[in-house]
Amino acid sequence: MELTQERATEILMENTFAVGKEVGTEDTMVVFDSWSAIGQAILEANNLDEQTDEELIEEFKEKGIEDPENYLKELKGGHVKVGSNDFAAFPNGEPPFRDIYYSIDDIMEISDGNRDNVYLGFTDEYTLCDKCCGIIRTSPDSYHWVPNYVDTGWEYICEECVKSDPEILFDSVMNKLKSLPDVGIDIEEHGWVKVNDDSLQNGMHEGMADDPEEVLDAMQENGINIIFDVHPSQFYVEFDVYVKEENLDKAKEIFYNTAYELPYEESPAYLMQKGLKEATIKMGELSDSKIKYASVNADGTADVKSVSAEDFINGNM
């Protein structure tokens, strides 16, 4: 039976956390809670949801599908071709799901009117703006990702909603060790000015040990409100310090009289080096032949353990 746009939309509405525009893009996001919710949508779209497992396996056999039991398992787990990423878990080289039944791609595309800018996501990556219910991404997708929403501590507010009340933005980051989100607001237009000449740095390269906490404490002691603007990179971050224009002179004086660089023994580069050394020594002391797994902690220590191949593959560490 042909899947209509209306039915496809209905199925998505029933089985998803949200369907709609991702704020700040032209993309339609279809946000699921789990892979099994995708499996359920596929079953419904193909009118397979009323049948028992035995009946489904029989139907797959009739369609000439090799290993129908595994096919059913994959179908219920939602493991089918999704967008440009091939999630198809068909180890025996079976034909892609969509050749026989509607895949989740098909369902999304039909629902969206066959446009190709419809994407799939999960609730651990996306949530809703608490004001307009637009979909916002909350998990980083690259090392230079910064949020395009404000997290007030009790609600998420998207860039579109923040624009009508920029004070929400300043209140959410002022006097906190938090970065200014990228919501398209130029803070200098709102009376905030940069205190430092060169950006401060903190990261894995030697000499990058500027500590924002020292700067924050020094400004707080003098009753000056500050905002940090952080620029993330792969192995370090750079950050700038902003104050209100009327406090600039005083803030500059405080800033340049504050020892904000951590001592070498407390710098991230030194602590990483120390942790890596400890990890190497501890791994050498593990006697069994299992996979050796080490994690280096921020305080320069390291934890190591032996993991079986099975646990390693399954991520049970």
CB of 146 to Zn ion, least distance (A): 17
Residue 168 C-beta: closest distance to Zn ion, Å: 11
CA distance 66 to 51: 20
Q: Nearer to Zn ion by C-beta: 11 or 161?
A: 161
Q: Going by C-beta distance under 8 Å and a sequence separation of 6 or more, which residues neighbour residue 230?
A: 146, 179, 180, 237, 238, 239
Which C-beta is closer to Zn ion: that of 4 or that of 25? 25
Query: Cα(307)–Cα(313) distance, rounded to whole angstroms?
Result: 10
Provide the minimum distance between the beta carbon of 115 and Zn ion in the complex, in angstroms, as a whole number. 23
Task: Give the residue among 121, 107, 124, 151 at the shortest CA–CA distance from 25.
Answer: 121
Chain positions 158 to 177 lying near Zn ion, rule: CB under 5 A, are: 158, 161
- Shortest reach from residue 24's CB to Zn ion, in Å: 10
Assess 275 for contact with Zn ion (CB under 5 A).
Answer: no
Closest CB to Zn ion among 149 and 170? 149
Minimum CB–partner distance for residue 295 and Zn ion (Å): 38
Q: How far is the CB of 159 from Zn ion (least distance, A)?
A: 8
Judged by beta carbon, residue 80 or residue 158, the one nearer Zn ion is: 158
Q: Is 136 left (phi over 0), alpha (psi -120 to 50) or beta?
A: beta
Rounded to the nearest angstrom, the gap between the alpha carbon of residue 210 and the centroid of all alpha carbons in its chain is: 26
Single-letter amino acid, residue 288: D
Q: Output 24 or 77, the one with its CB closest to Zn ion.
A: 24
| Closer Cβ to Zn ion, 56 or 129, answer by number | 129
Task: Pick the closer one to Zn ion by CB: 79 or 137.
Answer: 137
Size of the site for Zn ion (CB under 5 A): 6
Contacts of Zn ion in 90-149 (CB under 5 A) = 129, 131-132, 134
Q: How far is the CB of 123 from Zn ion (least distance, A)?
A: 18
Q: Which residues bind Zn ion (CB under 5 A)?
A: 129, 131-132, 134, 158, 161
